[in-house]
Structures are given as C-alpha cells and as structure tokens.
Amino acid sequence: MAETSISELMDVAGRTNRTKFRNSVLKPLMQAGLIEMTIPDRPRSSNQKYRITERGRALLAGRDTP
C-alpha cells in the first residue's frame, strides 16, 4: 500500500467523521505499530499521509500477530 491521506482512508472505510475516525481507527493502528505517519514531526500537516509498516505488512501476510 502506498502513502494514503486520511480522506482516502476514510473513503475506503466508509467513514465521514474525521475526528472519530482518527480516534477510533488511526490512533489504535499507530499505537500497535501497524501504520505510521509520513511526517511524524508535523502531525497536523495538510500534507500528512499514512503508510503501512513492516509489522503491518507481516500481519496482513499472516506472519505476525499483534
């Protein structure tokens, strides 16, 4: 998976409330080490995108457990 904006992720998930999506989906995935920000030192950047980590790819491939 390439770098993806929060809007694109929300579209895929069928969600419309950005705050609830960030709190209930993005933050838990980041805390689990499954996704990461592309600009971690500027979390509020309008250019912020998210990408899957190696751990996330391994979990998707069935090689790891959270």
Number of domains in the chain: 1
28, 66 in Cβ contact below 8 A?
no
SS3 30: helix
Q: What is the pLDDT of residues 7-59, one digit of tens each?
A: 999 999 999 999 999 999 999 999 999 999 999 999 999 999 999 999 999 99
AA identity, residue 26: L
28, 13 in Cβ contact below 8 A?
no
pLDDT bin (cut points 50, 70, 90) of residue 63 is confident
DSSP states of 6-21: HHHHHHHHT---HHHH
Q: pTM for the complete prediction?
A: 0.85
Domain containing 50 equals 3-62
What does the block give as tokens for 59?
Answer: 């979990």
